[in-house]
Structure 1
């Protein structure tokens, strides 16, 4: 029988030969998934044997990873903000830069709660639900949040994650195109909408292009089509309270175009940007 150590060495070599950038880590994650153990256990018990069924399952996962399928889809989950979320090919894989948006939202929410208010929060284009669910878990004083998406598949994944984190009574999922079906005006809008331009497609890694849902990635040639529609709708729909705050993740080349758009829609609004870990403008904050 193949031991854990032998399986890891085999997997690491196979993934390295296929050009995967972190072959040993991938092999450890995949084998841990097959054996239902963590990486510490793999390292502590290298002599433990795999059953034939475990060997077969591990081999199948290695073959799929060699072809570029993301590890998160292979194991069916991804950590975000210290929480474990179910993901599959119906939704984007959570990125660490989106944690900046959640942190910014929590800060604003907590200021409002400290002042005795219960802000109405809505996440638009929620996907797997990581933003509203994380907010709900981190801030239990918030009675409810809205989370909308136009994709029924994405909403089903979000529903699974709501149940996983026991917030299904507080995160109210809506089948809606942007703000259309929000039932009340919001104090805080969060959104991680598609912002990659089709002109930038070649800049994405092959595995992102091949496996992640294009509906959740692309928005016109420059990635601005949906953002422009979102802001225009927010301005004219009556779905924002008087001093609402909008927090959005944006593309690295979109700052100037968005400043121009926002200055026309809300001339008196405060518009600011925060950079991500790579030094690119990534978080947009609009205070009305």
Structure 2
């Protein structure tokens, strides 16, 4: 058989893509180039690094070229790949829902720490938090809600693919009426309307606006859900919100005003207060 047609080598493909991404303003140019070339070739990043002179066949080169053009337009890598890792699970992701962030794993850590019998995940999006909790707390009863039907569709697809469909109940809305939970987790929109234009294009132009922007102050969604969530808690229940930079103090005051007796913050890996946790009397 004749040798397969090639379109350059790994080193050349990575260099060209990295240069193009840098010119487009991408901060993680080399990493993104490696992730996309690995996807296009079916290799992993370690294999690419070990064989920089390996040829890239023409079909892989076409796939890579298509992905590079999308990334130059600042489409998020997770949407291009169609997946994102979160805790111990891999999630399908697309523009129907926000891309799961590492910071949101703090909410799962709180669930693992508290070991509640029941959890409500408000604003579930792709289902990341609810499904991660289901994966790590097999005896926990979990309800996940969202106001977006498209997001709920994606979350159910992820639950089916992960074999967790029987572990999580997905419902439209926010806080179900006449239900009680030991723990409520919420990653809600918290960006101010006026700040949207200044966000990275990956967020501003591609992720669903309703999952990003809360309103003029940035705390509108949190304030509404906090009151309903407080009323839904068991006597020793807890409520945890993911918040934006600089919002932890205001959200902590909100929880104190609602009646939580213990309120604390949790920092992300950058040292930014990212989660506010309120607990009922113990």
- Shorter-chain TM-score above 0.5: yes
Report the alpha carbon displacement of residue 66 of structure 1 after superposing the two structures with TM. 0.8
Structure 2 spans left out of the alignment, 5+ residues:
1-5
Please say if 1:151 is aligned against 2:148. yes
Cα-Cα RMSD: 1.8
Change (3 A) 1:13 1:145: same
Q: Does 1:215 align with 2:210?
A: yes
In 2, Cα distance between equivalents of 1:21 and 1:216: 23
Deviation at 1:203, TM superposition (A): 4.3
Task: Please list, as runs of the form range in 1=range in 2, the aligned pairs for 1:1-288 lying within 5 A after superposition.
Answer: 1-2=6-7, 3-109=9-115, 119-142=117-140, 144-175=141-172, 177-180=173-176, 184-236=179-231, 239-266=232-259, 269-288=261-280
**Contact conserved, 1:105 with 1:247, CA < 8 A, in 2?**
no
**In 2, Cα distance between equivalents of 1:20 and 1:235:** 41
Q: Secondary structure at the match of 1:188?
A: strand
Equivalent pairs counted in the alignment come to 274
Whether the aligned pair in 1 keeps the contact of 2:229 and 2:239 (CA below 8 Å) is: no
**Distance in 1 between the 2:266 and 2:135 partners?**
24
Cα displacement (A) at 1:104: 1.2
TM-aligned CA deviation for residue 208 of structure 1: 1.1
Segment drifting more, 151-160 vs 246-255: 246-255
Contact 2:189-2:221 within 8 A present in 1 as well = yes
| Other-structure match for 1:116 | none
CA contact (8 A) 1:137 1:165 kept: no
Q: Which has the higher strand share?
A: 2
Deviates more, 1:76-85 or 1:146-155: 76-85
- Quote how far apart the aligned CAs of 1:162 are: 1.1
TM-score by length of 2: 0.90
For residues 78-121 of structure 1, give each alpha carbon's deviation from its aligned partner in whole angstroms, at most 9, with x where no partner exists. 11114221111111111111111111111001xx5xxxxxx111
* Superposed CA offset, 1:64-84 (max 9, x none): 111111111111111111422
**What's the CA shift string for 1:173-217, capped at 9, x where partnerless?**
112x21135x73111111111111113224421221111111001
Deviations along 1:118-172, one digit per CA (max 9) or x if unpaired, are x111101100111111111112233x31111111111111112212321111011
